[in-house]
Amino acid sequence: MSEFVTVCETGPRDGLQISKGIMPTAIKTRWIAAIAAAGVPMIEVGSFVPPKLIPQMADTAEITRRAVLLPNVTIMTLVPNLRGAQNAYAAGAHRISTPVSVSEGHSRSNINKTPAEAVEEVKRMAEWLKEQPRKVPLEAGCATAFGCSIDGRIPLANVIRVAVGLVEAGADEITLADTVGYGNPALIKETVRAVRAEIGDRLIGLHLHDTCGVGIANALAGLEEGIRKFDSSLAGLGGCPFAPGASGNIVTEDLVFMLESMGFRTGIDLAKLLKARDILREGLPNEAIHGNLARAGIPRTYACAA
């Protein structure tokens, strides 16, 4: 039996939140259902942020309530604070994610808090969630862990400090996020090793962007360091607020192709996944979409891992 790698589709959250148009709720619901039906085991379906700031996410409560009815898929929702976590819990989210910027400049510009203050908020969320009857894991992301468009290079010590702080605050699992996509395979490896040395298996995932064209290589670097959970978005939907025109998250289809070709098991039917691009195109006809595999078609040598 091949080793399983969890692909977490974040297009409905990280992709849509920066899209120019707003995907209608009905189409978004169908899109998420199609991704789940392709076998994707985890989907980040939206974020509980003020609709005035990100109108694309205004329907997150409704989207979450519908998505959790889908079979065989873990539905995750992003929240920025305790209030968001309470909303996500009420909507039935199976899992909650929350980002904390390692970069001081990014943290202040985004939420007007220091990283340490943001970790305090995660502690409040974790404490509240632990008091609830339903067990909802809290995944905390160390954002801008591999570089920041404001602060530039990020000292490894700062990444470790935030990751350790998040574990001490009660987060169940930690993800390292290349929020702006400045990372490279050597930096990914060095950072994963250093963080794992401090928090062990609490480090579970990588959230990667393909800003500079090396996102899938960064995933390979993480894979080689033992990471077995990756965020990606269908058709590479999304972008980077600091680099107009930049690509978004790593492309789910290309990631799945790599993983399965290498003998890892993802549970994902690649042909069905490619079909889900049609619904994305229907819902956001003017959005730039990416993905080399989709252009070429699945090669005849492709075979799923067993």
Strand pairing category for 229-232 and 74-78: unpaired
Which of 284, 282, 276 lies closest to 239 in space, CA to CA?
Answer: 284
Residue (76 or 216) nearer to a second copy, CB? 216
Give dist(CA 10, CA 65) in Å, integer: 17
Burial class (CB in 10 A: 0-12, 13-18, 19+), 290: buried
How many helices (H) and strands (E) would you count in the chain? 11, 8
Q: Does 214 bind a second copy (CB under 8 A)?
A: yes
Q: Does 300 bind a second copy (CB under 8 A)?
A: yes
Which of 95, 27, 37, 94 lies closest to 282 in space, CA to CA?
Answer: 27
Shortest distance, position 247 Cβ to a second copy, whole Å: 5
Question: Please, what's the b/e burial string for 21-31 (b: 16 or more CB within 10 A of its CB; e: otherwise)?
Answer: eebeeeebbeb
Q: Which of 109, 246, 267, 269 binds a second copy (CB under 8 A)?
A: 246
Q: Does 271 bind a second copy (CB under 8 A)?
A: no
Tell me the per-residue interface mask from 20 to 49 with a second copy, x by CB under 8 A, - otherwise.
------------------------------
Asked about 148 being catalytic, the answer comes back as: no
Residue (71 or 213) nearer to a second copy, CB? 213
Q: Does 213 bind a second copy (CB under 8 A)?
A: yes
Residue type, 238: G
Phi, psi of 191 (to 5 degrees): -70, -45
Give dist(CA 208, CA 181) in Å, integer: 7
Tell me the per-residue interface mask from 156 to 195 with a second copy, x by CB under 8 A, - otherwise.
------------------------xxx-xxxx--------
Which of 116, 99, 108 lies closest to 165 in space, CA to CA?
Answer: 116
Q: Which residue has the tokens 């996410």?
A: 57
Residue (200 or 213) nearer to a second copy, CB? 213
Q: Does 268 bind a second copy (CB under 8 A)?
A: no
Q: Which of 106, 254, 268, 273 binds a second copy (CB under 8 A)?
A: 254
Tell me which DSSP letter residue 264 carries.
-
Q: Does 138 bind a second copy (CB under 8 A)?
A: no
Q: Which of 112, 200, 295, 306 binds a second copy (CB under 8 A)?
A: 295
Binding residues with a second copy: total (CB under 8 A): 46
Q: Does 226 bind a second copy (CB under 8 A)?
A: no
> Residues in the site for a second copy, rule: CB under 8 A?
147, 149, 152-153, 180-182, 184-187, 210-217, 219-221, 224, 240, 243, 245-247, 251, 253-254, 257-258, 261-263, 291-293, 295-297, 299-302
- Active-site residue list: 240
